[in-house]
Amino acid sequence: MRSDGVADLASFLGARIDEDEAAAQSLKRDTGEDTTELRAQVLADVAAKRGVLRFVERMQQDAEHADFLVHGPAMIVLSATAIPLRHLAAAYAAHPDFRPEWVPNEEHVEPDPRFSRSGWA
């Protein structure tokens, strides 16, 4: 996935995360412990996803750098972040802005049998 594809995917995720945060914030704080715990969990999830998106944003900035020692590694990292971002986006597959090309493709991330649990024994 090219860096502009990662940017589109990150933008889509950012918008969904904003919606999740707004929904969590709208839960009444005094409706009971279950709602309070759910609200706290959703807000923690939002914060974690935003941390991932901040990292991707930093790599996008570095990928635009003129120095290849900054640009090259950032492009590699951006390429590697595409799969985890697709998995995060899959939670929003029913959204009308979700693109079919964002469906995680497990064929590209088959585990290396050398690193399976039995491979270490």
User: What is the reported pTM?
Assistant: 0.75
Residue 94, domain member (yes or no) = yes
Residue 119, domain member (yes or no) = no
Neighbouring residues of 87: CB distance < 8 A, sequence distance ≥ 6: 104
Confidence (pLDDT) at 120: 47
Q: Which two tokens stand for residue 88?
A: 């995060």
Residue 113, domain member (yes or no) = no
Confidence (pLDDT) at 121: 42
Confidence (pLDDT) at 118: 54
Residue recorded with tokens 């090259």: 72
DSSP 63: H
- Count of structural domains, the chain: 1
76 lies in which domain range? 3-102
DSSP 112: P
Confidence (pLDDT) at 27: 79
Residue 117, domain member (yes or no) = no
Averaged over successive runs of 10 residues, the pLDDT of the chain (121 residues) comes to 76 96 80 77 95 92 84 87 91 95 73 56 42
Residue 98, domain member (yes or no) = yes
Residue 110, domain member (yes or no) = no
Residue 34, domain member (yes or no) = yes
Q: How far is CA 115 from CA 21, 76, 87, in A?
A: 38, 22, 22
Residue 59, domain member (yes or no) = yes
Q: How far is CA 87 from CA 70, 84, 100, 119, in A?
A: 27, 5, 13, 26
Q: Specify whether the CB–CB gap between 6 and 78 falls below 8 A.
A: yes
